[in-house]
Structure 1
Amino acid sequence: INAGKEFVTMLEGGSFFHHGDSFAMMRGGHLDIAVLGAFQVAANGDLANWHTGAPDAIPAVGGAMDLAVGAKKVFITTDHVTKQGEPKIVAELTYPVTGKHCVDHIYTDLCVIDVTKAGLKVIEKVEGLSFDELQALTGATLIDATQG
């Protein structure tokens, strides 16, 4: 049964295992890629995705920390800004840390960013959005790598 309470069947070649084994895979460094959401991503690749620090929010880290530090690469998928228009890509985290220096790539609704030692390199952006407009929506300095 899935999260929507629907019956499911496994496709040929599929597999499943106990959740304890999944944590052993994460903690043992056996995952090539983890795709996670984010509340914030810092310019140095720090990730905050489990708690905003709001007093009325219930913190729930789940397996996010294990994934963030256990996977060989971490890809983030997120909106570029919050519902209030605040940047989610920031110079430094203001929310509690999930993982330090763990993010490799960020995929937002506006662009694709590689997190590098040199900084946040924009490798792709939506058509019609200028680099300056993208920078204005971002809380950290971006490097334009979209030009030849």
Structure 2
Amino acid sequence: MMRGGHLDITVLGGFQVSARGDLANWSTGEPDAVPAVGGAMDLVAGAANLFVMMEHVTRDGLPKIVERCSYPLTGLGVVDRIYTDLAVIDVQPGGGLLVTGLAEGVSFDAVAALSAAPLMLKGQCRVLR
């Protein structure tokens, strides 16, 4: 199923997503971390659309949406959409991140401040409840 291109959508968690849609989700590279590749690499390679669900920042408050991933990559340019606790962000063809939805009570400026990659705001941005 996965390798044959039969999946329309795959939803995975992520440690980092880059402005180009690169995904790092199997290891933080920390010496004491246990890597957990599992089937993620097959899933990102075989799905027509890849959605990533994650918190917007780490436990330490560091951005998970970055210009370039510093963690080991699962896939290059594979992410189509990012769902965080603060926003919905589409990865544009050729790179760039477009905020299409904001959590109720969260401003675009707040989301941009918690991201380490430039964000653009869609004209008719949805309010997520």
TM value normalised by structure 1:
0.81
Give me the CA root mean square deviation: 1.2
Q: Secondary structure at the match of 1:26?
A: coil
Deviation at 1:127, TM superposition (A): 2.0
Please state which structure has a larger fraction of its residues in strand.
Answer: 2
3-state SS, counterpart of residue 42 of structure 2 = helix
Corresponding residue of 2:119: 142
Q: Aligned residue for 1:17?
A: none
Moved over 6 A (4+): none
Q: Deviations over 1:77-122 (max 9, x none)?
A: 0000000000001000000000010000000000000100351000
1:64 maps to amino acid: A
Matched residue count: 124
Q: Indicate the structure whose relative CO is greater, using CA pairs within 8 Å and at least 6 residues apart.
A: 2
The CA deviation at 1:146 is: 4.5
Larger radius of gyration: 1
AA at the equivalent of 1:129: V
Q: Which runs of 5+ in 2 are unaligned?
A: none
Which of 87-96 and 120-129 deviates more? 120-129
**Aligned equivalents of 2:10, 2:106: Cα separation in 1:** 28
User: 1:124 touches 1:146 (CA, 8 Å); kept in 2?
Assistant: no
Q: Which residue of 1 aligns with 2:16?
A: 40
Give me the TM-score of the superposition, normalised by structure 2: 0.92
Q: 1:78 aligns with which of 8, 33, 54?
A: 54
Instruction: Indicate the residue corresponding to 2:105 in structure 1.
Output: 128
Q: What is the Cα deviation at residue 59 of structure 1?
A: 0.9
Question: Following the alignment from structure 1 to structure 2, what is the Cα–Cα distance between the partners of residues 74 and 144?
Answer: 21
C-alpha separation in 2, matches of 1:114 and 1:78 = 14
More helix by share: 1
Is 1:50–1:59's contact at 8 Å kept on the other side of the alignment? yes
Residue 87 (structure 1) aligned with residue 63 (structure 2): yes
**Can you list the C-alpha shifts for 1:48-98, whole angstroms capped at 9, x where unaligned?**
000000000111200000001110100000000000000001000000000
How many angstroms does 1:132 deviate by?
Answer: 1.2
